[in-house]
Structure 1
Amino acid sequence: MQLNVYLSGEIHSNWRDAIAEGVKAAGLDVTLTGPNTNHGASDDCGDDILGAEASNFWKDHKAAKINALRTRKLIGDADIVVVRFGDQYKQWNAAFDAGYAAALGKSLIVQHDPSLTHPLKEVDAAALAVCETPQQVVDILSYIHRDQ
């Protein structure tokens, strides 16, 4: 069974690499996609493509829309959306991606530290699985691939 899995969320740790390595080691037929994780390129894509803005509001506005073109396409194509919330920064975009995926009826896996359980209770309630580690995400994907 081939699965398309979109990896949304924080970009300040190697959790995506850990999932990719685990998927490869388990021999799973999984295609992983995600947002542009180059923070500078993501923030500057509007100015770089459409021209510089004098106001940070309009710079961010253009970049958010261009990034949304990618996000909407890849979440729309995903069988499963994994959203990771880190503890260092507030990931408003990750919460938005989780809500968007839920609204589309996508299967949702949420990953975060237990200390975030209370603030993420609504997001967790929309998920089919809530886990703490990238390995648990890989284990869920492996379970889905089992014949029995």
Structure 2
Amino acid sequence: MTWNVYLSGEIHTDWRDQIIKGCENKGLDITFSSAVTDHESSDAAGDGLGEESNAFWRDHKSAKVNAIRIQNQIKQCDLAIIRFGDKYKQWNAAFDAGYCAALDKPYITLHSEDIIHPLKEVDASAQAWATTPQQVVDILTYLLLQK
């Protein structure tokens, strides 16, 4: 059985690649999906709908266009991995976690111990909290290979 795993959150490190490569090395049957991870492309997603003089409306249109992809991928996933990095606040990732919770989609949070307190509600709804991509690979290995 192929699992669909949605990778959400921080885009400034290679955590996605680490998880994907780790799962490939284990021979896990997983299809990964993600939001657009190129920051400039994501910010410009709504530009084809017309130029905006106000940054709020540009962001608003792009967020709605990006939501088409994100909401469909979350609805189709078996599990989401939601990464919160240390450098920037990923409000979009918190929103994705809430969307998963509302849809009763299981998710695993991935973040350092430094931000446990601000993520307490997000972690409380998660099925697991990991601090490294390898821990996520280990969980996925257990879920897919355990008989």
Same fold (TM over 0.5): yes
Task: Report how far residue 114 of structure 1 moved.
Answer: 0.5
Deviation digits for residues 58-108 of structure 1, max 9, x if unmatched?
A: 100000000000000000000001100001001100000000011100011
Over the aligned positions, Cα root-mean-square deviation in angstroms equals 0.7
SS of the residue corresponding to residue 58 of structure 2 reads helix
Q: Name 1:46's counterpart in structure 2.
A: 46
Could you list the structure 1 runs, at least 4 aligned residues long, displaced by more than 4 angstroms after superposition: none
Q: Name 1:142's counterpart in structure 2.
A: 141
Task: Report how far residue 145 of structure 1 moved.
Answer: 1.2
Q: Name 2:83's counterpart in structure 1.
A: 84
Return the TM-score normalized by structure 2. Answer: 0.98
Letter in 1 for 2:74: I
Structural mapping, 1:49-128, within 5 Å:
49-128=48-127
Structural mapping, 1:6-45, within 5 Å:
6-45=6-45
Letter in 2 for 1:113: S
- The unaligned stretches of length 5 or more in structure 1 are none
Task: Report the Cα distance in structure 2 between the residues aligned to 1:132 and 1:107, rounded to whole angstroms.
Answer: 17
Task: Report how far residue 2 of structure 1 moved.
Answer: 1.3
Task: Report the Cα distance in structure 1 between the residues aligned to 2:145 and 2:62, rounded to whole angstroms.
Answer: 40
SS of the residue corresponding to residue 45 of structure 1 reads coil
Task: Report the Cα distance in structure 2 between the residues aligned to 1:55 and 1:78, rounded to whole angstroms.
Answer: 35
Task: Report the Cα distance in structure 2 between the residues aligned to 1:147 and 1:77, rounded to whole angstroms.
Answer: 23
Task: Report the Cα distance in structure 2 between the residues aligned to 1:3 and 1:146, rounded to whole angstroms.
Answer: 12
Task: Report how far residue 50 of structure 1 moved.
Answer: 1.1
Task: Report how far residue 45 of structure 1 moved.
Answer: 1.4
Task: Report the Cα distance in structure 2 between the residues aligned to 1:140 and 1:8, rounded to whole angstroms.
Answer: 17
Task: Report how far residue 147 of structure 1 moved.
Answer: 3.5
Q: How many residues align?
A: 147
Letter in 2 for 1:133: T
Task: Report how far residue 146 of structure 1 moved.
Answer: 2.0
Return the TM-score normalized by structure 1. Answer: 0.97
Q: Percent identity?
A: 56
